[in-house]
């Protein structure tokens, strides 16, 4: 099968085509013919080992796993003998979690991992970009008790995680103010934001409003910079925390203070993907697709995503 692998860390041209053995599914696995995958922020970070500590997980001197790609959409081609949930021909989407391997024509997936059938009306490219953004956003939002009418500020609302947070918060009837550049303001409003602040025209840090929840979705602000915008019981949350956020979390924990700072790595759960699948089927959420590249253009897609300005998500069409 055709795959794109990387043998060393570096710029996007370390990704090269390679012919690999087609995997054979184990008893608890399904073989998926991949129709689409994506380039997430995590993919370019691992490819380039940015920041350096990524190497402690991915390999100190060179990548341990040469196949990148964290999410996929495709069709079940074979099922292991213990699998009852999926059948040959099912359209499925899912995430490999902390593992990777979707930059290939086929993947053997453990059925206990986050994988589900694609709801009607969603293309492979759309389905492929759902899991990482929505599972991460869902994981973090479960840490707060979001109630109708609560005020939420999302900084970096136009990213993959930010646009998922926006829609999941709106599904809970929260009042969402999104911060992004003016080039993304229009679709962010269409995707449900009650107010959009374009950071290139307006300074959101001097807003008169106070928020129940502030989300730092793309690591361009910090708890210290915006804590004055929180209500007394408000919470700050980041999937892309900066160093000072970790220090503030430490102070909070050691000092026995009330929980205000929430940071960490999202756990991607199959049960959560089921919830996302239902919300997609009910048309309550939808992924925002910025660009679709062909498989052979995967290096160009990496170069684009690495600039940190993608709107929502970038898909790769494999079949």
* Residue numbers at the binding site for ligand NAP (CB under 6 A): 40-42, 45, 132, 136, 155-156, 158-162, 179-181, 183-184, 199, 217-220, 239-240, 265-266, 305, 308-311
Check if the beta carbon of residue 311 is closer than 8 Å to that of residue 158: yes
Place of tokens 């956020």: 245
The whole-angstrom separation of Cα 80 and Cα 94 is 17
Considering beta carbons, is residue 159 or 287 the nearer one to ligand NAP? 159
Task: List the structure tokens of 76.
Answer: 């079940």
Minimum distance from CB of 9 to ligand NAP (Å)? Answer: 16
Tell me the closest approach of the beta carbon of residue 220 to ligand NAP, in angstroms.
4
Contacts of 50 (CB under 8 A, 6+ apart): 44
Closer residue to ligand NAP (CB): 117 or 220:
220
**Closest residue by Cα to residue 158 from 138, 186, 132, 130:** 186
289: tokens are 């697709």
Q: Least distance (Å) from ligand NAP to the CB of residue 97? A: 10
Question: What minimum distance in Å lies between the beta carbon of 64 and ligand NAP?
Answer: 19
Residue 110: strand, helix, or coil: strand
Q: Which is nearer to ligand NAP, 83 or 241 (CB)?
A: 241
Between β-strands 261-263 and 230-238, what pairing exists: parallel, antiparallel or unpaired? Answer: parallel
For the bound state, the minimum distance from the C-beta of residue 258 to ligand NAP, rounded and expressed in Å, comes to 22
Phi and psi at residue 303, to the nearest 5°: -60, -40
Give whichever of 30 and 298 is closer to ligand NAP, judged by the CB atom: 298
Tokens 């009330």 correspond to: 258
Q: Which is nearer to ligand NAP, 91 or 309 (CB)?
A: 309
Indicate the residue whose CB is closest to ligand NAP: 159
């Amino acid at each position: 099968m055709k795959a794109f692998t990387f043998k060393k860390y570096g710029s996007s041209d370390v990704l090269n085509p390679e012919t690999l053995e087609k995997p054979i599914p184990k008893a608890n696995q399904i073989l998926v013919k991949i129709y689409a995958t994506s380039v997430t922020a995590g993919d370019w970070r691992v490819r380039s080992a940015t920041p350096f500590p990524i190497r402690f997980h991915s390999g100190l001197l060179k990548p341990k796993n040469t196949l990148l790609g964290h999410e996929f959409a495709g069709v079940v081609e074979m099922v292991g003998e213990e699998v009852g949930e999926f059948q040959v021909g099912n359209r499925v989407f899912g995430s490999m979690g902390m593992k990777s391997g979707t930059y290939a024509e086929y993947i053997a997936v453990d059925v206990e991992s986050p994988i589900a059938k694609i709801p009607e009306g969603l293309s492979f490219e759309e389905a492929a970009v759902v899991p990482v953004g929505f599972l991460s956003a869902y994981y973090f939002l479960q840490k707060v008790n979001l109630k109708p009418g609560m005020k939420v500020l999302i900084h970096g609302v136009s990213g993959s995680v930010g646009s998922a947070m926006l829609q999941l918060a709106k599904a809970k009837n929260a009042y969402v103010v999104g911060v992004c550049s003016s080039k993304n303001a229009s679709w962010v409003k269409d995707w449900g934001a009650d107010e959009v602040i374009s950071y290139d025209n307006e300074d959101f840090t001097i807003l008169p409003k106070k928020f129940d929840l502030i989300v730092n979705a793309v690591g361009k602000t910090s708890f210290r910079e915006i804590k004055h915008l929180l209500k007394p019981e408000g919470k700050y949350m980041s999937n892309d925390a900066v160093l000072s956020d970790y220090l503030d979390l430490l102070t909070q924990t050691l000092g026995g203070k009330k929980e205000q700072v929430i940071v960490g790595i999202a756990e991607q759960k199959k049960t959560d993907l089921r919830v996302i699948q239902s919300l997609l089927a009910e048309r309550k959420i939808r992924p925002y697709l910025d660009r679709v590249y062909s498989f052979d253009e995967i290096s160009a897609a990496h170069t684009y995503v690495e600039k940190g300005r993608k709107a929502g998500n970038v898909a790769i069409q494999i079949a």
